[in-house]
C-alpha cells in the first residue's frame, strides 16, 4: 500500500480472478499473476510500497497454501538487494494456515 491523493492505494496480485469494487477513498489496482514467480514480483517495483501483505490461497489445502506463501516470502526477501528493496523500511505481513 502507498499513499496518494486517494488516501491509500491497494495493489492486489492473485492467481485467481477477483471481484473487487472501487471505493471512493481507496485507489485499487488488481493484477493477475503467479505470486511464486519471482519475475512477477520484481515487476511490482516493491520500492514504492510501505507494506506488503501475503495471504494464503484459500483454494489450496493448508500445507500447499503455506508452501506457496513461504515461496513468495523467499522470493521477496531474495529480490530485496537487486531492486533496492530493504525490509527495514517496509512492513511485511503474511498469513500461514497450518
Residue-level pLDDT at 98: 86
Range of the domain at 21: 2-94
CB 6 within 8 A of CB 26: yes
Q: Which tens digits make up the pLDDT trace of 8-51?
A: 777 778 877 766 665 555 677 778 899 999 889 888 877 777 78
Question: What is the C-alpha separation between 29 and 18, in angstroms, rounded?
Answer: 11
CB 80 within 8 A of CB 86: yes
Q: Count of residues for the chain?
A: 98
pTM: 0.70
- Count of structural domains, the chain: 1
Residue-level pLDDT at 36: 92
Assign 75 a pLDDT band (cuts: 50, 70, 90): confident
Residue-level pLDDT at 87: 54
CB 52 within 8 A of CB 75: no
Helices marked H in the chain — which ranges?
38-42, 62-78
Amino acid at each position: 500500500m502507498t499513499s496518494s491523493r486517494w488516501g491509500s492505494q491497494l495493489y492486489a496480485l492473485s492467481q485467481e480472478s477477483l471481484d473487487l469494487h472501487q471505493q471512493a477513498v481507496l485507489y485499487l489496482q488488481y493484477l493477475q499473476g503467479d505470486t511464486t514467480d519471482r519475475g512477477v514480483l520484481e515487476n511490482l517495483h516493491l520500492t514504492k510500497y510501505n507494506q506488503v501483505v501475503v495471504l494464503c490461497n484459500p483454494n489450496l489445502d493448508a500445507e500447499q497454501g503455506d508452501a506457496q506463501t513461504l515461496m513468495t516470502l523467499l522470493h521477496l526477501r531474495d529480490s530485496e538487494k537487486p531492486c533496492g528493496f530493504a525490509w527495514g523500511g517496509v512492513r511485511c505481513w503474511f498469513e500461514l494456515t497450518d
